[in-house]
Amino acid sequence: MVSETGKQPDIAPAEAGNAPEHSTAAFIEAAVGPGSRLPEQLVANIERIETLTQRLINALAMREPKNPGVEAPGPDLFTTAASGWLKLLSEQPEKVLSQQVHYWGETLRHFAEAQAALARGTFRAPPDDRPRDRRFSNPLWESHPYFNFIKRQYQINAEAMSKAAQDLGVHDMTDRRRIEWFTRQMIDMMAPTNFLATNPDALEKAVETEGESLVRGLENLVRDVERHGGEMIVSLADREAFQVGEDIGTTAGTVVARTPLFELIQYKPTTQQVHETPLVIFPPWINKFYILDLKPQNSLIKWIVDQGYTLFVVAWKNPDTSYGDTGMEDYVSAYLDAMDRVLDLSDQPRLNVIGYCIAGTTLALTLSLLKQRGDERVKSATFFTTLTDFSDQGEFTAFLQEDFVSGIEAEASRTGVLSSQLMTRTFSFLRANDLVWAPAIRSYMLGEAPPAFDLLFWNGDGTNLPGRMAIEYLRGLCQKNAFVGEGFKVFDQILNVRDVTVPLCAIACEADHIAPAKDSWRGVSMMGSQDKTFILSQSGHIAGIINPPGKMKYGHYTSAAGFQKGFDAWRDAADFHEGSWWPTWEKWLSRHSGRMIATRDPGAGLGPAPGTYVHETS
């Protein structure tokens, strides 16, 4: 470094045996002192980094240790993978050698082609017939020799790892699916876009902003770690952009009952008459109910009210550690309690019910219990993206084996709950590129603020699960698949899916990775009802359900094929309908909802919707 006088500054040599002193302060003095030529903005950013780094260290120290079983697969999986590779090596050494030679050949060919292109003084990216990958949309991935070389080598490495995992001599399908799943996670994690030095978007932004984007990214990282108690969970949406009850969740209604486990909301009528049979929605307690009431234009709750129904919705308590012994029986009791209150308030002997996701699974248990008791209070049931048959664990296979479930059980026993943070992390890694790596790049490397998006805001407003309930669900329903097999025990009665005999309608979504349509269909096909309707919506677990009429974004399918020949036969015979499934379902519901009567006003009750439980954070 040259001083303003043009002379080299005097630097005292370090004493023998003593390492030179290195500190952030000393570096900053050397870098940005009187003789520095660094831009003023960059100087300020370097100073901000020191403060943020200390905040990050303090925030990471807040992280509570968790049971190792929830952090990684157990040693059995690694033993299985190693055994499979050794078996393949001993039985088919030529196959292993062939894989390695192919990988070496691809790598050397790639290097030679890049060298030759550079030697010619021109660079032209080789043809790439792979499907378009949004991660590599920057033109520099094709036009710049450095970035193109990195991209192509990553693709070669990814293909080699995938092929090696597929060719392992592992015959157990569960182990095979787990190995392939974890291999995919490693491949996604090592993408060059996830690292600053190999991400052209981040480097261009850093140069353009004189380092400001990286400092903003560090600020975002520190904020997220502080907000999540030492956990590194990227915020998908601006947490200050919405206020529940003011911007979203605004449909007019009244809290008409409150228990330790739920609030019951009755919505104010908007029509001159309503169907005599009331309708109650049981939303999932993994997230909050206002997914059904985000904004007026896409609110299913408002739309149902506008069609002339007396609508009640259960708003679940966000449990803390004191709810550790709350189990599935308590939730079934809550269903019965809510139904009793709805019947009393509406002065009706029967009602219609809706269950969404895990709440649909529990609704099926409740209907089985009512059947065995001879209780006919339910006229019809609707299931949104509901699983009752867990024989195919799908993308959750990696997490539903004994190593992870035992880890979750130990963690739930220690804390009393299955925390929303742990569930958020699990669900996010089912779509890691979309829900982990891409948001992290935007927030931490590009320094962008999280978007003000209502759906993602709701997605980040998670709830805990009571420890006992979570383990009963994972072991009894998911692992043992007891509800369609030997039976699931509730209140000393053995419940089975065949006891669900009320008229029912099930809605599944063709791109749903949480409750796949074919698995949802299979559970419905086992139910004992003689009046069954199945609707298949386009899109996924949320967008396929929150699909209001008028937008014409996603259509839906209906079929007269019945439930005798399997899902594929049903799907092949299905008719496609443009637009939302809501009106199709409402025509079905109206047939089970009785005559039109005078509206029911919920009055003042215990306070306005959306109530108090919805505001409790984890």
- Of residues 519, 325, 481, 311, the one with CA closest to residue 400: 481
Report the chain's C-alpha Rg in angstroms: 29
Helix, coil or strand: residue 57: helix
Q: Which two tokens stand for residue 526?
A: 């086992």
* Neighbouring C-alpha atoms within 13 Å toward the C-beta of 83: 11
Residue 410 makes CB contacts below 8 A (sequence gap 6+) with 67, 69
- Of residues 290, 282, 286, 291, the one with CA closest to residue 351: 282
Residue 264 makes CB contacts below 8 A (sequence gap 6+) with 255, 256, 257, 258, 312, 313, 314, 315, 338, 341, 342
Cα–Cα distance measured from residue 386 to residue 500, given in angstroms and rounded to the nearest whole number: 14
32-41 LR contacts (CB < 8 Å, sep 24+): 34/3, 34/4, 35/1, 35/2, 35/3, 35/4, 35/9, 36/1, 39/210, 41/210, 41/211, 41/212
- Of residues 148, 179, 146, 149, the one with CA closest to residue 162: 179
Q: Which residues are catalytic?
A: 357
Describe the crossing of helices 40-60 and 212-227 by its angle, rounded to 10 degrees.
20
Q: List, in sequence order, every residue forming a beta bridge with 56; answer none if it has no partner.
A: none
| CA-CA-CA-CA torsion sign (83, 88, 93, 94) | negative
Q: Which two tokens stand for residue 408?
A: 């979750």
Q: Which two tokens stand for residue 153?
A: 């080598």
291-297 LR contacts (CB < 8 Å, sep 24+): 291/455, 291/458, 291/542, 291/546, 292/356, 292/546, 293/248, 293/249, 293/250, 293/251, 293/610, 294/248, 294/249, 294/454, 294/455, 294/458, 294/546, 295/247, 295/248, 295/250, 295/454, 296/250, 296/251, 297/548
Q: Which two tokens stand for residue 546?
A: 């929150």
Q: Which two tokens stand for residue 154?
A: 């990553």
Cα torsion 378, 384, 389, 394 to 10°: value is -170
Question: Which DSSP category does 436 fall into?
Answer: I
Q: Which two tokens stand for residue 471?
A: 């383990």
User: Are 540 and 455 in contact, with CB atoms under 8 Å apart?
Assistant: no
Q: Residue 112: count other Cβ atoms within 10 Å of its Cβ.
A: 10
Helix, coil or strand: residue 537: strand
Cα–Cα distance measured from residue 476 to residue 412, given in angstroms and rounded to the nearest whole number: 16
Describe the crossing of helices 75-91 and 173-189 by its angle, rounded to 10 degrees.
100
- Of residues 458, 459, 439, the one with CA closest to residue 449: 439
Please give the single-letter amino acid code of residue 510. E
